[in-house]
Structure 1
């Protein structure tokens, strides 16, 4: 192909582009009209649709002082008691309830649905719940703080959005607090029953030992009376070591009778049970534990829950701009189709 041929082809292309531009220019009012139609439609949607507001709150693990009240009566495993609650032990209960589907559905029925207008509650519960999950989210906010969670709610009313966030946190907090208290209460009750059983066993053993001692003294007294031994004879040290066994009668009738009368008159064996008072003190501590709910917490809220004053949807400027762009593109496409149809009709004629 020669240079003249290339030049001719370039001139033809230039003529075609000029012709295309002229054809589109001839259809400019059509393009403008379609662009305006799309722009007006986009602007109508942007300015007439209900605004959507977003409220959020962040939660963190409780402090040591927040959980100190949970550890009343928990003296530690080293002292034979219960292991104290740690921050993670308490916060994991809160996070579990925070993310559970049970908490979501309870919140959806008790708080979210009543916040909607009657027209918005029309439809199946499943569809409404799916729509709710699109407007409600819980997620870790920062990889450097994996224990920090953010609760986000979208709503057409700004005050309702912030109120719903607070209501969800309060609902989960109450449930989690009750779970921790019940877990601790059950553990304390089990520990108290164990100690109560130890006290009961100690008293039963003391009674049996007293009865056995009384029988031994009675038998020894019978022997002492039979041989007429009222007072113990003078014995050497080696013999005295056997006086609690079969030679107990060697103590003499007076001594044996006096001890037996004391044992029979004893009202309670408690003072003679080793460690009984310590067990009673532990039992009393466990059974009298009363936790003040106002002094404990299962989480900390990071900041206040503010009422949003700027909607996140719709983005009016973006919607209008997209409407103009799409309208212009569609207008040019329709104009090109119209130009092609006009040329085709002219060739046919």
Structure 2
């Protein structure tokens, strides 16, 4: 048998690109129709959808001199960075935004719905509309710190008035807070000073009473010691007097037995005894016995001692003790302490505290003119909407239309091929 040349055969599963492109070209009107249809739908959405606009306001710290008057009160201290942080915290506060929303509902007329509570309407708006702006610490080109607030809002909302009004409202509220804090701090400082003065008065009164008690106690102790000494001296004098009386009694008996009635001496008695030999008794450096005074003198002295009512005159120390007791009966230092009229004059640091209180009461700081931050950028009317992005949507519509058109043409071509094969 003659050899037959092999014929090239192609699998039905292989795709002929040329045939595919030729098929797509034949269905160009279908592709164009679908592309135009989707493009028109995208354009309709781009031009008919509610436009959204975006505005923002940027705040920066004030110079330190703007807060000198506030810090100069000596009660309140606030740095520019702290002031900026306070304003930023208030701007981001949900409660502050809600309060502004309630007070300025005329700015949000397009958002208010009769069938929804005001809080729900604001929560939905706040969650997507407000954005806080702040400097990125990782970027070295930020010359100074700042904070800001950005608002993305639909048509019908006065976004410029909302942002500028919210910033102005926050600044006013923060100024009122500073004024309130300053008033509270001054009141607390004055209350503290009053407590210090009261404590100083109580301490002074306690120390004065303690000093008076100490002085009176010392006087009482001194009086008791002097009285004890006086009693001891009087007892001693009485003992001496009684001993003297006994000595006089004994001497009187001796003198009577010797027949001595008048005062005499041993020498005189020797002259009287005997006419012959004279016996002289010389007593040198010895006290003459009492009985030589004679019975008359001895009895007279004894009678005087027995009739004596007091021995005080015989001891000079008793007069000194009575003088000291008389002086102790009136302590002039205690009297002067008790007669003090204006005791505040004796309080330590009182003048300094009163001067500080007078300075605090004299603080009249007007916070209405206080500049907490510098508004670097106010919100201005936007030139165009940020969404929908019309050009991008139309371009995406064209691309999507082409893709869907090509896909539809391919499906149509596949179904046709199957119909031909089955026939």
Q: Distance in 1 between matches of 2:155 and 2:69?
A: 39
Structure 2 contact 70–76 (Cα < 8 Å) conserved = no
Task: For residue 193 of structure 2, give the secondary structure of its aligned residue in structure 1.
Answer: helix
Q: For residues 127 and 272 of structure 1, do their structure 2 counterparts lie closer, same or farther at Cα, with a shift above 3 Å needed?
A: closer
Deviation at 1:170, TM superposition (A): 2.3
The residue that corresponds to 2:99 in the other structure is 106
Q: Deviations over 1:96-154 (max 9, x none)?
A: 22223323433444447851416777657547623432121113143355841221011
Structure 1 contact 108–132 (Cα < 8 Å) conserved = no
Q: Distance in 2 between matches of 1:139 and 1:100?
A: 14
Query: Unaligned stretches of 5+ in structure 2?
Result: 1-5, 224-323
Q: For residues 208 and 340 of structure 1, do their structure 2 counterparts lie closer, same or farther at Cα, with a shift above 3 Å needed?
A: closer
Among 124, 131, 156, the alignment partner of 1:130 is: 124
Q: Deviations over 1:133-179 (max 9, x none)?
A: 21211131433558412210112349811111112222322333333
The residue that corresponds to 2:241 in the other structure is none
Q: Number of residues paired by the alignment? A: 307
The structure with the larger Rg is 2
Structure 2 contact 76–185 (Cα < 8 Å) conserved = no
The residue that corresponds to 1:268 in the other structure is 342
Deviation at 1:277, TM superposition (A): 2.3
Structure 1 contact 57–305 (Cα < 8 Å) conserved = yes
1:1-349, aligned counterparts within 5 Å? 16-74=16-74, 82=75, 84-111=77-104, 114-117=107-110, 126=120, 129-143=123-137, 144=139, 145=142, 147-157=145-155, 160-204=158-202, 249=327, 264=339, 267-349=341-423
Q: CA RMSD in A?
A: 4.0
Say which is worse superposed, 137-146 or 15-24, in terms of deviation.
137-146
Q: Deviations over 1:33-55 (max 9, x none)?
A: 11111111111111222322111
Q: Distance in 2 between matches of 1:248 and 1:62?
A: 78
Q: Deviations over 1:240-295 (max 9, x none)?
A: xxxxxx99959xx9x959x968974x653344444322211101222332321133
Q: Deviations over 1:302-335 (max 9, x none)?
A: 1332221222112111111111110111011101
Say which is worse superposed, 268-277 or 187-196, in terms of deviation.
268-277
Q: Distance in 2 between matches of 1:31 and 1:16?
A: 20
Q: Distance in 2 between matches of 1:169 and 1:207?
A: 56
Task: For residue 142 of structure 1, give the secondary structure of its aligned residue in structure 2.
Answer: coil
The residue that corresponds to 1:227 in the other structure is none
Q: Under a length normalisation based on structure 2, what TM-score does the superposition of the two structures give?
A: 0.60
Q: For residues 85 and 117 of structure 1, do their structure 2 counterparts lie closer, same or farther at Cα, with a shift above 3 Å needed?
A: closer
Structure 2 contact 164–378 (Cα < 8 Å) conserved = no
Structure 1 contact 55–158 (Cα < 8 Å) conserved = no
Q: Distance in 1 between matches of 2:327 and 2:77?
A: 55
Q: Under a length normalisation based on structure 1, what TM-score does the superposition of the two structures give?
A: 0.72
Q: For residues 24 and 140 of structure 1, do their structure 2 counterparts lie closer, same or farther at Cα, with a shift above 3 Å needed?
A: same
Task: For residue 117 of structure 1, give the secondary structure of its aligned residue in structure 2.
Answer: coil
Q: Distance in 2 between matches of 1:47 and 1:342?
A: 39
Q: Distance in 2 between matches of 1:85 and 1:311?
A: 40
Q: For residues 287 and 155 of structure 1, do their structure 2 counterparts lie closer, same or farther at Cα, with a shift above 3 Å needed?
A: same
